[in-house]
Chains A and B, each alone.
Chain A
Amino acid sequence: MSWRADIGLEVHVQLRTRSKMFCACPNAFGAEPNTQVCPVCLGYPGALPVINQEAIRLTVRTGLLIDAHINLRSKFDRKNYFYPDQAKNYQISQYDQPLCVGGHLDFSVNGESRRVGITRIHLEEDVAKNIHFDADSGVDFNRAGTPLMEIVTEPDLHAPEDTLAFLQALKQVLQYGGVSDCNLEQGNIRCDINCSVRRADAVNLGTKIEIKNMNTFRGVFRALQAEIPRQIRELERGRAIVQETRRWDDAAGRTESMRGKEDAHDYRYFPEPDLPPIVLSEETITAWRAELPDLPAARRARFVAAFSLPEYDAGVLVSDKEVADYFEETVAAGAPAKAASNWIMTELLARVSESGESIRDLKVAPAGLAALIQLVENRTINGPTAKEVLATMLVEGGDPGEIVSKRGLAQVSDAGALENFIEQVVASHAKSVADYRAGKQPAFEFLIGQVMRLSRGKANPQLVRELLKAKLG
């Protein structure tokens, strides 16, 4: 008997704005509790909300990135429910006129391309953070009122692997769009999962189970790995799935029912009387569309076409927006594309993965890397020297040209000087010379190595090779 899972997500994304959704308090992570608060985000009596226009722009931008329809007329509503982390005991959200409806996101799983439908994207305010003690709980309102975008998908996902790949692709899009930092540790992306199971040949979806408050992609993956078989087991035992909300117990590795801990949901949505509607013009949307950055897939294609990079290189570079930007800036500073790609993919990314830093934190800026590559290209230094210079730059920073001249690392391409080295090597390694002449190629490589050593690595290897070959006839 074969079963099929249907998975949809409600993804909550914290937007990258300077201030909160409805007040001027800073939208920043990590401050001391209740120090980034004001009458508005604390729900003080008499305080009133004012819409942050940047949050509107970022939400519409997200809609444009996933081909959504942008509602020209949109409004805010009050969603009523009591909770200690909800300052007003209603949340300002969007009910029947969200900013964006429809759209889709393409991504690939194991080389297979997939598409997930997006139902809607709306804007709301985040709640406060609860901290639990043994006897009671504490509430910190610093996060309360920060702009939160909710992306609701169709139930187009069917496996934990799909879901994880979708979330990674979505994260990439949001980062590319400059919409969110998507820092999972800081809770920038959180989601609720809707998951049901049906027989593979069934037409209708099964009964939906909601798993709330997932904070990590790994958690989503593991929760689905546990929940899908659980539902299948229940059905195979002939038990019906009852619609309910469950929570993921990460330590126990299973989902558990939240029944009894939840009230009946009757959110009593009604239009927010404190906020006039948002009316967007076609001109505004056209202008915002023109500002959209390339998405990863498009950028990869462009890297292949414009820079003649191999597909593999382009794929590695665009997987992180900062790396792709770094690459483009290096090329713009004069480095040949393939050389820039090689240096970034091997030397810099190795360094980044070792240190855990971002490529932007390195002491080597794109212009410095481009200058280093130039030195190799014009044969001022050879490859091994360049690696040595780069190592210095990564530790101390500085200009590669200066490092080379200060340390006398410039490559020796003067034929006279090289002839001199070669004379010495040939004179002192008669056996190797004889071996080479007897047809043993490794002896030739040995002799080149000796010349390089004599030059303390600065000899132009190409020239040495030519001169030695001529010398030995």
Chain B
Amino acid sequence: MSETERQSPFDVAYVARLARLKLGEDECARLQAQLEDILAYVETLNEVDVSGIEPMTQALETQNVMRADVSAPGLDHAAVMANAPERRLGLFIVPRIIE
């Protein structure tokens, strides 16, 4: 659904699709109501004058935390595959991807 087609400012079905959550009708209705409540509460932030305040995108003031370009072995293949819900030929198997 494109943005212009969205009926109310908060459309739980559209957002659920973005978040890859399959919701039942009841679940959708309940979440729609609960989230409208929460969003109404969140509106209190509009009381704050944030002009001139830089967004706090990081919890710390650090910078340039990097590693040297050195390679090292990762996880054992068998251990990786042991966690896979479906595996074959050393691959993670998923339903056919249409590209």
Contact = CB atoms under 8 A, between A and B. Distances in A.
- A contacts B: CB pair < 8 Å: yes
Given A23-B74, A34-B81, A263-B17, A276 B64 contact: yes
A422 to B, nearest CB: 68
B75 A19 contact: no
Contacts of B69: 17-19, 52-55
Given A37-B80, A139-B91, A276-B63, A24 B74 contact: yes
A276 B63 CA distance: 5
Contact of A33 (B57, B70, B91, B98): B91
A52 B74 contact: no
Interface residues of B, number: 38
Given A140-B91, A264-B1, A279 B63 contact: yes
B90 interface: yes
B90 A277 contact: no
Nearest to B92: A139
B74 A132 contact: no
B58 A273 contact: yes
A140 B73 CA distance: 16
B67 A53 contact: yes
B89 A33 contact: yes
Given A137-B93, A138-B89, A52 B66 contact: yes
B96 to A, nearest CB: 5
Most buried by A among B58, B67, B74, B96: B74
B60 A137 contact: no
User: Chain A binding site: helix, strand, loop or mixed by DSSP?
Assistant: loop
B22 interface: no
Interface string B60-99: 1011111111111111010011000000111111111111
A276 B88 contact: no
Nearest to A32: B90
Given A38-B75, A53-B68, A56-B66, A138 B96 contact: no
B62 A276 contact: yes
Interface in A96-142: 130-133, 135-141
B42 interface: no
B94 A137 contact: yes
B96 A26 contact: no
A321 to B, nearest CB: 21
22 contacts: A18-B70, A19-B71, A24-B74, A25-B71, A25-B73, A32-B77, A34-B77, A34-B80, A35-B90, A37-B75, A51-B67, A52-B66, A52-B67, A53-B66, A53-B68, A54-B68, A80-B18, A130-B97, A139-B92, A271-B57, A276-B64, A277-B58
Given A26-B71, A38-B74, A271-B57, 8 more contacts: A19-B70, A34-B80, A42-B80, A51-B66, A137-B95, A268-B18, A273-B58, A276-B65
Interface of B: 1-2, 17-18, 20, 57-60, 62-75, 77, 80-81, 88-99
- The 3 lowest CB-CB distance pairs between A and B, nearest first, are A138-B91, A38-B74, A54-B69
